[in-house]
A = this chain, B = another copy of it.
């Protein structure tokens, strides 16, 4: 096979970018692959709206079945988990290889979709589902294939990183930063998918599943977003030498694994702490490779198109060499045990407790921590001029188990000297 017909389903931003790049870089792609990748069909409900791209009129159609029937490679770019799932399963059942950027769908139904691809002996690739501007899925699956993966830390959501950057650099409140992100098109009108951590959870589920060879159920992944991060937390973190980021985390713990999403405090001066604005960063530690870090754009038309076309090229090469399933979309290694419940993880913790400024406060709190065998690494009470108001005490603990800190917090929260909800942020020292 010297040419492959590409059929795109979904003519939105990414679909437009993929079509443009296939046309614009066609001679480079042909030189590199020895193949013509022909933009054969694009299906969308709306094929009238101008997208700023000139296409042969035979390319556009509202009939997605036509795309499925006539194309050699199916590119699913409509998003969502209902119609997209049906389309992908249908394409796979027709034996057609699929490229998708649909992280929510894969995180939730990866097992079913991968099983369909395996049964039909065809491929489904999804580089664009995590950090389009970073070739991390290929790196994890192939470049690091020799490695036992120890841990993955990722800044995987550009919206949250943009908001945290605005808060840290321009002292904007969470609400103002979110509003600005919405104005710039970084955040949706209904921003929950991003700011409550679900999008990060979908992505870390995909990376962790690949790394540990067990498709993880996102419902079992502890997921906490950035709504509770206040400007004062960012300031105190800075004073303590830390930056606050939203991380997706996957770690090996003996033979089990932990996967979680929550804000973290990481040391200033690390590369991760300097990844700002809407950019993504992913740190992977493996044996024997050591630590390796990837940085780039997380989303957007251009970066995502690059990832989608990389997959199209990989599949085209498989078609040319009749080597489908050469790199399975997912292999169930079964090398690791269970996904640990959140109570079993260990971490250092930052606690911000607003208390009445009176004698004995610190003693009461530290007694409760001591009973749960939690040792204090540092404690700061900032001076305040407003004597009538509660004062914030910030405590940084040594490493302890989540269950211990939660038990202690529950008790501290009920103390009469404690005002407001205690804020807890986990600390990752990135060692």
Q: Tell me the A residues contacting B by CB distance below 8 Å.
A: 17, 20-21, 24-25, 27-29, 31-34, 127, 132-135, 138-139, 142-148, 213, 269, 271, 274-275, 286-297, 300-303, 305-307, 309-310, 312-314, 317-318, 320-323, 325-328, 331, 333-335
Contacts and interface: CB of A to CB of B under 8 A. Distances in A.
Given A147-B306, A296-B293, A335 B142 contact: no
Q: So how many copies of this chain end up in the complex?
A: 2
Contacts of A295: 271, 292-295
A311 to B, nearest CB: 9
A286 B305 CA distance: 12
B31 A334 contact: yes
Contact of A144 (B24, B135, B317, B323): B135
Contacts of A28: 147-148, 333, 335
Nearest to A328: B34
A306 B286 contact: yes
A430 B25 CA distance: 24
A143 B293 CA distance: 15
B302 A289 contact: yes
A177 B239 CA distance: 33
A254 to B, nearest CB: 16
Name the residue in A27, A134, A269 with the highest tally of chain B Cβ atoms < 10 Å from its Cβ: A134
A313 B140 CA distance: 13
A271 to B, nearest CB: 6
A335 B26 CA distance: 12
Q: Which 6 A-B pairs have the closest CB atoms?
A: A135-B143, A146-B309, A292-B296, A288-B302, A289-B306, A323-B323
A24 B289 CA distance: 13
A301 to B, nearest CB: 8
Contacts of A143: 127, 135, 138-139, 307, 310
A27 B326 contact: no
A305 B288 contact: yes
A34 to B, nearest CB: 8
Contact of A274 (B274, B307, B310): B274
A363 to B, nearest CB: 42
Nearest to A284: B296
B310 A317 contact: no
B142 A25 contact: no
